[in-house]
């Protein structure tokens, strides 16, 4: 895209040069002024140069926005757990998994035809089923410990990979909207398993998976939603990540290697000084990314769980929101806005806040209480 913009700029400058060569140099009039041809050529030069400059700015912006979309949609990538932004996820250690005769590999299609892969962990007798809805670039294999923990408490578990993750089709991800098709198919599949009690499916989502659970249209098979660290709107999350990565790049250029206390202080000053310009850059790239995404994939990018909840009704499945008070990736204010959206339509909702500084770190903050909340939801009531 940048190369094409550069070519366009070259064409504009060639036009300017051609105009000047064809018109010749302007002669001053006897009174010291310039003739009309001079002013025409000068005006044309200014206009063409301005248009060329605008093309450079637009081209560069779209190229950078394309990079943002590439990062968001690239399949088969797993998150770096050491990233300070993610804080490092720690999951329950894997407990005893079900015997082979109760563990069924599954292959199924999303509602748009995308091929998905998963497993159903069946109890020996009918029971509620928990569908685990994993996070962005955290495939289902990293949730086996979560599945084992929940299975040990007497429920069936459906583990599956969203598109672009794990063993599912390696196609583009969207961070929310496209994945609704995947979760809807997973819930439908869970409901068809003979061990699943009618209308007793609970979705347990994490980060992106929690947001997708809130975006899911009403399904009579879903009894409740457990949403651990969901975002309220994807565009705000994308802007936050762009801001963080921009400052990380600035810090690496100015203070390469291990940072000393003085470097940390200078970094803090830079963040204060450059905050508004970087925020403006993040907003511009996010808005441009929406255009690039729709042009490439034919549907909108920005998922809005807050609006989905606000447009739900009082009889929709109750929601247990779980959030760390100092989540570095998705602020607590996102959970609070989701609570407000649910309460505005009379939908049953509860917010469980933990003293943690890790994204999706609430289980490790207090494992016993976390499990108690899950069990209460499975039993059909919020704590």
Under 8 Å between Cβ of 193 and 129: yes
How many whole angstroms separate alpha carbon 166 and alpha carbon 116? 9
Task: Please report which confidence band the pLDDT of residue 141 belongs to, taking 50, 70 and 90 as the band edges.
Answer: very high
Question: Which residues face 105 on adjacent strands?
Answer: 119
Q: What is the pLDDT of residue 39?
A: 60
Q: Which two tokens stand for residue 302?
A: 């920005």
Please list, in sequence order, all residues whose beta carbon lies within 8 angstroms of the beta carbon of residue 217, skipping any fewer than 6 positions away. 180, 184
299-334 pLDDT, tens digit each: 999 999 999 999 999 889 999 999 999 999 999 999
Q: What is the pLDDT of residue 25?
A: 45
- Cα distances from 331 to residues 81, 154, 193, 337, 360, in angstroms, run 19, 33, 37, 11, 11
How many whole angstroms separate alpha carbon 316 and alpha carbon 370? 23
Residue by residue, DSSP assigns 51-69 as HHHHHHHHHHHHHHHHHHH
Confidence (pTM): 0.84
Superfamily of domain 100-233+303-378: Alpha/Beta hydrolase fold, catalytic domain (3.40.50.1820)
Helix crossing, 36-73 with 275-297: angle to 10°? 80
* Cβ atoms within 10 Å of 178's Cβ, excluding its own: 23
For range 130-140, the mean pLDDT: 95
Residue of 51 and 375 predicted with greater confidence: 375
326-353 pLDDT, tens digit each: 999 999 999 999 999 999 999 999 999 9
256-307 pLDDT, tens digit each: 555 555 555 566 666 677 788 889 999 999 999 999 999 999 999 999 999 9
For tokens 């578990």, the residue is: 157
How many whole angstroms separate alpha carbon 178 and alpha carbon 196? 26
């Amino acid at each position: 895209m940048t190369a094409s913009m550069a070519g366009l700029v070259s064409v504009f400058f060639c036009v300017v040069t051609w105009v000047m060569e064809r018109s010749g140099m302007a002669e001053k009039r006897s009174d010291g002024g310039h003739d009309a041809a001079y002013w025409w050529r000068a005006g044309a030069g200014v206009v063409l140069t301005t248009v060329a400059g605008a093309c450079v700015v637009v081209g560069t912006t779209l190229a950078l926005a394309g990079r943002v979309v590439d990062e968001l949609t690239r399949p088969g990538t797993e998150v770096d757990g050491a990233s300070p932004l993610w804080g490092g996820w720690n999951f329950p250690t894997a407990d005893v998994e079900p015997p082979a005769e109760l563990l069924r590999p599954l292959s199924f299609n999303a509602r748009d035809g995308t091929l998905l892969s998963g497993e159903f962990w069946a109890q020996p007798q009918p029971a509620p089923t928990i569908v685990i809805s994993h996070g962005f670039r955290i495939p289902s294999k990293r949730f086996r410990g979560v599945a084992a923990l929940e299975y040990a408490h007497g429920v069936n578990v459906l583990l599956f990979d969203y598109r672009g993750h794990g063993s599912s089709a390696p196609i583009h991800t969207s961070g929310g909207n496209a994945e609704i098709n995947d979760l809807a198919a997973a819930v439908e599949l869970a409901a068809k398993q003979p061990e699943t009690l009618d209308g007793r499916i609970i979705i347990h989502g994490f980060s992106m998976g929690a947001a997708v659970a809130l975006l899911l249209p009403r399904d009579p098979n879903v009894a409740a939603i457990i949403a651990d660290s969901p975002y309220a709107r994807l565009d705000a999350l994308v802007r936050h990540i762009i801001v963080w990565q921009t400052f990380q790049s600035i810090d690496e250029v100015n203070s390469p290697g291990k940072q000393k206390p003085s470097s940390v202080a200078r970094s803090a000053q830079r963040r204060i000084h450059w905050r508004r310009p970087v925020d403006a850059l993040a907003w511009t790239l996010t808005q441009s990314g929406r255009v690039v995404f729709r042009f490439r994939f034919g549907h909108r990018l920005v998922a809005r769980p807050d609006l989905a909840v606000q447009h739900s009704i009082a009889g929709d499945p109750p929601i247990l929101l779980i959030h760390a008070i100092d989540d570095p990736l998705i602020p607590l204010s996102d959970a609070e806005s989701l609570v407000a959206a649910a309460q505005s339509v009379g939908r049953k909702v509860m917010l469980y806040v933990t003293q943690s500084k890790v994204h999706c770190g609430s289980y490790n903050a207090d494992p016993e209480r976390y499990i108690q909340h899950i069990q209460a939801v499975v039993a059909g009531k919020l704590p």
